[in-house]
Amino acid sequence: MYSNYSNSEHNRYRLGLWYGTYRLIIALCLFFVFFLTYQNLQHDYGHPLLYLSSVSIYIFLSLAQLVFYKFYSFHIVRQITLFFAIDVILFSALTFASDGPSLHISLLFAIAIFAASLLLEAKKALFITLVAVISVVYQQFLSGLFSLASLNNLSISALLAILFIVVYIIGQLTIRRFQVLENWSFTQSLEINKLQNINRYILEQIETGYLVLDENCHIALSNPAARELLGINPLYAIDPFPLYKAQPDLFEILKFDQLKDGEKFEFESQQSNSHIHVKVQKLIVPHQTLTLLVLQDSKRINQHAQQLKLASLGQLSASIAHEIRNPLATIVQANNLLEGSDDLQQKQLIKMVNKQAQRIDKIIHDTLSMVKNNETHTSTIHLNTFIPAFIQDNLLDIADKIQVNIEASSFINFDESQIQQVLINLIRNAIRHNNKDRSHIELNIYSHESYIRLDVIDFGEGISHENIRSLFQPFFSTEITGTGLGLYLSHSFCEANQAKLSYVEKQCGACFRIECPRIVIN
């Protein structure tokens, strides 16, 4: 009957139900304790008949109120208020029947006041507290006047009154703290719900399929793209369902217990016409381990790759045409001037034609080197012995201009021929752009975290800010005679070897940095 209540009202109803059950238990305990202890502790019960009658009434009223509260849950606040009103009246009667305050009755008073502070409004809880204070203090005062109890009980009653006030204050502070926490929790739940809706929307719109399996190989989560690729019935998206029922073909080849993080495989199913590329990712979440299968249509991947190749080919073709056009125009112009020129002019024009023809040949050679599909064969390279031999074999003419600083025991994995090409290009570029007043460039090799860095540093003018973004693009060069493919090839070689080539800005000069994963050799 309380399904239409708000969350706070529902919580109050449940707490009231627990308190009503507690009252009935307390009433029954008081009844049994009286019969068990009456023979030995008769002097503690000043008015045993009144005590027994009060406890009996308390049992009857507690039971009746609990049943009514349970099955007729309307006017909840009024019913709870009546709980506390009857508690205070009957506890007062028990206190009077015991000839003064006792520890167990005083504790029941304090619990009732604290519970009232949690379940009722502040004004109503204060009213219950004041009624309890008055009933305890004034009944002892009247009993003292008629010599029915010792006047010493008045001081105890006064202390109890103070205790009740303190309990009320503590209850109010507690309920305010609960309200703050409840508001914060409600706000957080709204934010979480908002994020869940956003995540759900993203999963529904994304073209990549995501299938999450729990430890029992049941589908814990799937997005529409995954269900479409696998031919899974949309009904399986509602609740967790065994994979062997939703997609038996995938279940048969999966070998769920042997899946490794990062594993990839291809998959075809009779339930769909798609050839699917599957990538496995392990998800470690609290109290369970989930497996994420990232699903993509292989045809779509190939189409996308082909589009990228065509776009790159178009860009490369345009760049080659642009680079060849300038020297070709010079050759055509020189050829037109050959007729009618004297011998000296003809020699100069022929020299110009040869120079431009060599430039075209270099552009074609570098372009072929760039597009040639050479496989990368990595090997472990000990830089401490490799670098001196490399300089001796490839850079002997400028060896005296290279200052090498290298840490001990520097090992990397790299294709040896490709690292040689990269270093030759970077070092000769550094020598060419170095300050004429400086006699050398630097090659610094050192470790940084889990990487080995190779820094090629010159002390020239450096790279202007507007050119930094274009450094590693094909055919970009700041030199008139350059083809602009050297840095592009070096960058490509580094990427092929799981390394990174980058430009590091310095106050003076330029620094090109190769960063490779460090290899530890025991």
Which CATH number fits the domain that encloses residue 322?
1.10.287.130
Are 402 and 500 members of one domain? yes
Give the count of domains, the chain.
4
Range of the domain at 435: 378-517
Is 449 inside a domain boundary?
A: yes
State the residue for tokens 């002390």.
459
- d(C-alpha 169, C-alpha 163), whole Å: 10
End of a domain among 245, 277, 300? 300
The SS3 of residue 466 is: helix
End of a domain among 339, 371, 403? 371
The SS3 of residue 159 is: helix
Which CATH number fits the domain that encloses residue 466?
3.30.565.10
- d(C-alpha 430, C-alpha 426), whole Å: 6
Is 268 inside a domain boundary?
A: yes
- d(C-alpha 265, C-alpha 272), whole Å: 17
Are 364 and 382 members of one domain? no
Q: Which helix (H) or strand (E) holds 241?
A: strand 241-242
List pLDDT tens digits, range 431-451.
Answer: 988 988 888 999 999 998 889
Are 32 and 170 members of one domain? yes
pTM for the full model? Answer: 0.41
Are 473 and 331 members of one domain? no
Q: Which residues of the chain have pLDDT under 70?
A: 1-8, 38-46, 99-101, 138-158, 236-239, 302, 304-306, 308-320, 322-323, 366-375, 474-485, 522
Is 309 inside a domain boundary?
A: no
- d(C-alpha 81, C-alpha 85), whole Å: 6
Are 81 and 159 members of one domain? yes
Are 220 and 319 members of one domain? no
Are 385 and 367 members of one domain? no
- Helix locations, 120-151, DSSP H: 122-145
